[in-house]
């Protein structure tokens, strides 16, 4: 938690170094191009569905303060997952996000000895700073760094399955760019994490209890102002002896219903989760952004 | 006196055309357009040649002047000249057979107080104008990719 506080303080400090004249300008409303705020990733940071991008939540530019809220449902073979969260984007520079995640084991809960419909839950507080560049305009792509403090609410159970901790901090850096000449967005993220299945199965484990480097990426093709399709990848750690963890993939379609609402549907392959293989299914999200 | 006047007119000739307000002298150069043109005729065809570009520019300029957000930035601008130089700039970049005789982007937008949100609004106006002309979305974005780097010179410093 101390590390998280330090990291958050550092990100706040970054925003203080923003050009004084930019901060002196009065705030205004409205600004980003459709879809360029991304959607809300599983852990609440704006980006793709599985991974953050180097974009800041909300529809505002360097002259405004934006907000976003989202609800996500993931229905895979044996489990279902819901998350809801909010984020604030300050002057297209600093993003603070919160997400509450709920992971229901349904019938598998019985097999795991937890009871039918046993649900894990977790809270994630995130901060992200866009350090440089721009998603659309400048020569330099958008570059951002972020932290995510995660607190699992099922400490006793996650320790019982082999996790070493019920809280943890992820650190990541993202580079994102919309290549207008091809209508293609590419984003890559490097993450340092100890989290098992995002942290829903705790942090660290009997196999490994050290930070590992993970790679995440999104590619999207914009078919119209409102509509984009793409795919994502997210590599995962594998810290728990009893439950193998696989890399994640998805194929998505995102549609801007209007300036504020973005609906996303994806087919996700989440591999093996909590000993049960072949967890594939639908990801649905509605995001509101201002 | 008449010689002096005609000299003055001669000097002013490339800077402002009849019906346009006077502008301070500048050096005419295609590089003032702020982007290198596309090669080949693909983009010019996608924009339906000079006639299509003229319709897009007319739609775009009228839309900007009438816009509730950015209209006030345009209110004091020379609409006649803007239509002409924008047409030349688009036509030049799209390789549709024009030279650009307007000012460079930094000079043309100096002291206009344009913010990022205004720029995005402008892009949306241009997207609407291109869509109305029936320009394919991928071709729209290819054109925007030539304009995007100009934001640096257009924004309020």
Query: Taking the domains of chain B in order of start, what are their residue ranges?
Result: 2-154
Contact of B42 with chain A, judged by CB distance below 8 Å, is answered with no
In whole angstroms, give the CA distance from residue B23 to residue A206.
Answer: 75
A2-289 is classed in which CATH architecture? Answer: Beta Barrel (2.40)
**What's the average model confidence in pLDDT over A169-179?**
98
The domain locations on chain A are 2-289
Task: Name the E strands within chain A.
Answer: 39-40, 46-47, 65-76, 80-90, 94-104, 119-132, 142-152, 167-179, 184-193, 212-222, 227-234, 248-256, 261-269, 280-289
**Predicted pLDDT of residue A27:** 83
B36 to chain A, any CB pair closer than 8 A? The answer is: no
Q: Has residue B10 got a pLDDT over 80?
A: no
What is residue B16's predicted lDDT score, i.e. its pLDDT? Answer: 87
CB–CB of A62 and B116 under 8 A? Answer: yes
| Mean pLDDT for chain A overall | 93
| Under 8 Å between Cβ of A246 and A271 | yes
Phi/psi at B76 (nearest 5 deg)?
-100, 10
CB neighbour list of residue A219: distance below 8 Å, 6 or more residues apart:
A184, A185, A186, A187, A230, A231, A232
Across the A:B interface, residue pairs with CB atoms under 8 Å apart total 55
Indicate whether A221 pLDDT > 90.
yes
For residue A132, pLDDT beyond 90: yes
Half-sphere exposure of A163 (CA within 13 A, CB side): 23
Q: Quick one: tokens of A276?
A: 């049960």
- Taking only the tens place, the pLDDT of each residue in B19-65 is 999 999 999 999 999 999 999 999 999 999 999 999 999 999 999 99
CA atoms within 13 A on the CB side of B35: 23
Question: What is the DSSP code string of A42-68?
Answer: TTS-EESSSSB-S--SSS--TT-EEEE
Q: What is the pLDDT of residues A149-163, one digit of tens each?
A: 999 999 999 999 999
For residue A9, what pLDDT is reported? 58
Are the beta carbons of B149 and A180 separated by less than 8 Å? Answer: no
Phi/psi class of residue A116: alpha, beta or left (left: φ > 0; alpha: ψ in -120 to 50)? beta
- pLDDT tens digits for range A44-57: 999 999 999 999 99
How far apart are the C-alpha atoms of A129 and A42, rounded to whole Å?
18
ipTM of the complex: 0.88
Out of A33, A138, A182, the one facing B120 most closely (by C-beta) is: A33
Reply yes or no on whether the pLDDT at A17 is more than 70: no
Which chain A residue's Cα is nearest to B152? A138
Task: State the Cα–Cα distance between residues B4 and B7, nearest whole angstrom.
Answer: 5
Angle, CA of B120, A222 and A256, to the nearest 5° = 65
pLDDT of res. A56 = 98
Question: What share of chain A in percent tops pLDDT 70?
Answer: 91
| Number of other CB atoms surrounding residue A126 within 10 Å | 28
Q: How far apart are CA B82 and CA B66, in angstroms?
A: 15
3-state secondary structure of B76: coil
Query: For strand A184-193 and strand A212-222, is the pairing parallel, antiparallel, or unpaired?
Result: antiparallel
Residue with tokens 């003229």: B54
Whole-prediction pTM value? 0.91
Find the CB nearest A183 among B121, B141, B148: B141
What is the CATH architecture assignment of B2-154? Orthogonal Bundle (1.10)
Report CB contact under 8 Å: B145, A31. no
Q: What is the rounded CA–CA span in Å between residue A121 and residue A158?
A: 11
Cα separation of A132 and B24, whole Å? Answer: 36
Q: Distance between CA atoms of A37 and A89, rounded to whole angstroms?
A: 10
Contact indicator for A273, A284 with CB cutoff of 8 Å? no
What is the predicted pLDDT for the residue at A12?
Answer: 55
Distance CA A144, CA B122 (A): 27
In chain B, the largest separation of any two C-alpha atoms, in whole Å, equals 56
Cross-chain Cβ contact B148/A180 below 8 Å: yes
């Amino acid at each position: 938690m101390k590390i998280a506080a330090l990291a958050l303080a550092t990100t706040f400090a970054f925003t203080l170094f923003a050009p004084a004249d930019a901060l002196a300008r009065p705030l205004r409303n409205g600004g980003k191009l459709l879809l360029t705020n991304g959607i809300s990733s599983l852990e609440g940071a704006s980006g793709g569905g599985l991974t953050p991008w180097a974009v800041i939540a909300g529809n505002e530019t360097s002259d405004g303060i934006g907000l976003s809220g989202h609800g996500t449902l993931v229905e895979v073979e044996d489990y279902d997952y819901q998350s809801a969260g909010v984020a604030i984007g300050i002057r297209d520079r600093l993003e603070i996000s919160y997400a509450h995640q709920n992971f229901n084991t349904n019938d598998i809960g019985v097999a795991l000895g937890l009871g039918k419909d046993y649900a894990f839950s977790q809270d994630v507080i995130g901060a992200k700073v866009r350090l440089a560049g721009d998603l659309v305009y400048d020569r330099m792509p958008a570059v951002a760094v972020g932290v995510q403090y995660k607190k699992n609410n099922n400490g006793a159970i996650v320790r019982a399955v082999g996790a070493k901790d019920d809280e943890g901090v992820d650190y990541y850096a993202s580079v994102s760019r919309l290549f207008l000449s091809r209508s293609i967005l590419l984003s890559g993220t490097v993450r340092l994490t100890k989290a098992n299945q995002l942290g829903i199965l705790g942090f660290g484990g009997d196999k490994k209890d050290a930070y590992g480097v993970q790679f995440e990426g999104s590619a999207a093709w914009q078919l119209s102002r409102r509509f984009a399709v793409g795919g994502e990848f997210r590599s995962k750690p594998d810290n728990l002896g009893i439950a193998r963890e696989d890399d994640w993939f998805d194929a998505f379609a995102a549609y801007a219903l209007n300036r504020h609402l973005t609906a996303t549907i994806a087919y996700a392959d989440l591999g093996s989760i909590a000993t049960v293989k072949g967890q594939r299914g639908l990801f649905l999200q509605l995001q509101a952004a201002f | 006196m008449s010689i002096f006047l005609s000299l003055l007119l001669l000097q002013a000739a490339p800077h402002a055309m009849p019906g346009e307000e006077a502008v301070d002298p500048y050096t005419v150069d295609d590089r003032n357009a702020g982007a290198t043109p596309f090669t080949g005729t693909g983009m010019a065809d996608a924009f339906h040649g000079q006639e299509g570009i003229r319709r897009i520019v007319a739609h775009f300029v009228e839309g900007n002047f009438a816009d509730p957000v950015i209209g006030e930035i345009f209110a004091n601008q020379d609409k006649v000249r803007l239509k002409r130089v924008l047409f030349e700039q688009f036509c030049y970049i799209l390789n549709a057979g024009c030279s650009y005789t307007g000012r460079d982007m930094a000079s043309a937008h100096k002291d206009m107080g344009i913010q990022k949100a205004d720029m995005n609004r402008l892009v949306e106006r241009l997207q609407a104008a291109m869509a109305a002309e029936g320009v394919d979305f991928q071709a729209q974005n290819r054109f925007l990719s030539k304009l995007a780097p100009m934001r640096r010179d257009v924004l309020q410093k």
